[in-house]
Structure 1
Amino acid sequence: MSVEDRKAAGEGRSARRAGRRAWGRDAPDGRSGGPSKSRPRGWVLASAAVLVAGLTAFPAVVPNTVGNLGSLLETFLPWTGLAVPVLLGLALLRRSALAAVSLVLPAVVWAVVFGGRVLPADRGAAGDLTVLQHNVGEENPDHEGTALALVRAGADLVALEELTPAVRPVYENALASGHPHRAVAGTVGLWSRYPLTDSRPVDIRPADVGPDWNRGLRVTARTPHGDVAVYVAHLPSIRIRPPDGFGSGRRDESAAKLGAAVASEKLDRVILLGDLNGTLDDRGLSPLTSRLASTRRGFGFSWPAALPLARIDHVMTRTAIPVAAWTLPATGSDHLPLIARVDL
Structure 2
Amino acid sequence: MAVLVGVGMLVAARPPVDVLGSFGSLLQTFLPWSGVGVLVLLALAALRRSAVTAVAVLVPAVVWCSLFGGMLVDKRGAGAAGGDLTVVSHNVHDGNPDPAGTARSLTASGAQVIALEELSPRTAPAYERALAESHPYHSVQGTVGLWSTYPLRDVRPLAIMPWTRALRATADTPKGPLAVYTAHLASVRVSLAKGFNTARRNEAAVALAAAVRAEPLDRVVVVGDFNGTTDDSALAPVTAGLRSAQEEAGAGFGFSWPASFPVTRIDQILVKGVTAVSAWTLPRTASDHLPVAATLRW
- TM-score normalised according to structure 1 size: 0.81
Q: Quick check: 1:178–1:193 contact (8 Å CA) kept in 2?
A: yes
Structure 1 position 201 matched with structure 2 position 157: yes
Q: Which one-letter code corresponds to 2:184 in the other structure?
A: H
* Selected match of 1:305 from 259, 277, 286: 259
How far 1:121 moved relative to its partner? 4.9
* Selected match of 1:243 from 193, 206, 213: 193
Partners in 2 of 1:240 and 1:51 — Cα distance?
Answer: 27
How far 1:243 moved relative to its partner? 3.2
Query: 1:259 aligns to what?
Result: 209
Query: 2:96 aligns to what?
Result: 140
Query: 1:84 aligns to what?
Result: 38
Partners in 2 of 1:63 and 1:226 — Cα distance?
Answer: 41
Query: 1:124 aligns to what?
Result: 78
* Selected match of 1:166 from 116, 122, 125: 122
How far 1:241 moved relative to its partner? 2.4
Query: 1:275 aligns to what?
Result: 225
How far 1:62 moved relative to its partner? 4.8
Partners in 1 of 2:128 and 2:188 — Cα distance?
Answer: 29
Query: 1:191 aligns to what?
Result: 147
Structure 1 position 112 matched with structure 2 position 66: yes
How far 1:128 moved relative to its partner? 1.0
Q: Quick check: 1:221–1:228 contact (8 Å CA) kept in 2?
A: yes
Structure 1 position 56 matched with structure 2 position 9: yes
Partners in 2 of 1:282 and 1:68 — Cα distance?
Answer: 10
Q: Quick check: 1:187–1:215 contact (8 Å CA) kept in 2?
A: yes
How far 1:127 moved relative to its partner? 1.3
Q: Which one-letter code corresponds to 1:181 in the other structure?
A: Y
Q: Note closer, same or farther for the CA distance 1:64–1:123 as it changes in structure 2 (3 Å cut).
A: farther
Structure 1 position 320 matched with structure 2 position 270: no
Q: Quick check: 1:163–1:189 contact (8 Å CA) kept in 2?
A: yes
Q: Note closer, same or farther for the CA distance 1:120–1:64 as it changes in structure 2 (3 Å cut).
A: farther
Q: Which one-letter code corresponds to 2:8 in the other structure?
A: L
Deviations 1:227-260 (A, max 9, x none): 1111010000112322322211111110000000
Identity within the alignment, %? 52
Partners in 1 of 2:221 and 2:122 — Cα distance?
Answer: 28
Map 1:2-17 to 2 at 5 A.
none
Deviations 1:55-111 (A, max 9, x none): 333421354544522111111111111101111223334454332221111112212
Which structure ranks higher in relative contact order (CA pairs < 8 Å, sequence separation ≥ 6)? 2
**Unmatched segments (≥5 aa) in structure 2:** none
Q: Secondary structure at the match of 1:302?
A: coil
Deviations 1:189-244 (A, max 9, x none): 00000000011001101xxxx4xx11010111100010111101000011232232
How far 1:264 moved relative to its partner? 0.6
Q: Secondary structure at the match of 1:51?
A: helix
Partners in 1 of 2:277 and 2:194 — Cα distance?
Answer: 38
Q: Secondary structure at the match of 1:184?
A: strand
Moved more, 166-175 or 226-235: 166-175
The structure that is strand-richer by fraction is 2
Q: Quick check: 1:62–1:69 contact (8 Å CA) kept in 2?
A: no
Q: Note closer, same or farther for the CA distance 1:257–1:330 as it changes in structure 2 (3 Å cut).
A: same
Partners in 2 of 1:84 and 1:99 — Cα distance?
Answer: 12
* Moved beyond 6 Å, runs of 4+: none
**Unmatched segments (≥5 aa) in structure 1:** 1-47
* Selected match of 1:182 from 138, 151, 156: 138
Q: Note closer, same or farther for the CA distance 1:204–1:70 as it changes in structure 2 (3 Å cut).
A: same
CA RMSD of superposed structures (Å): 1.6
Query: 1:32 aligns to what?
Result: none
Q: Quick check: 2:78–2:277 contact (8 Å CA) kept in 1?
A: no
Partners in 2 of 1:234 and 1:216 — Cα distance?
Answer: 6
Partners in 1 of 2:254 and 2:87 — Cα distance?
Answer: 15
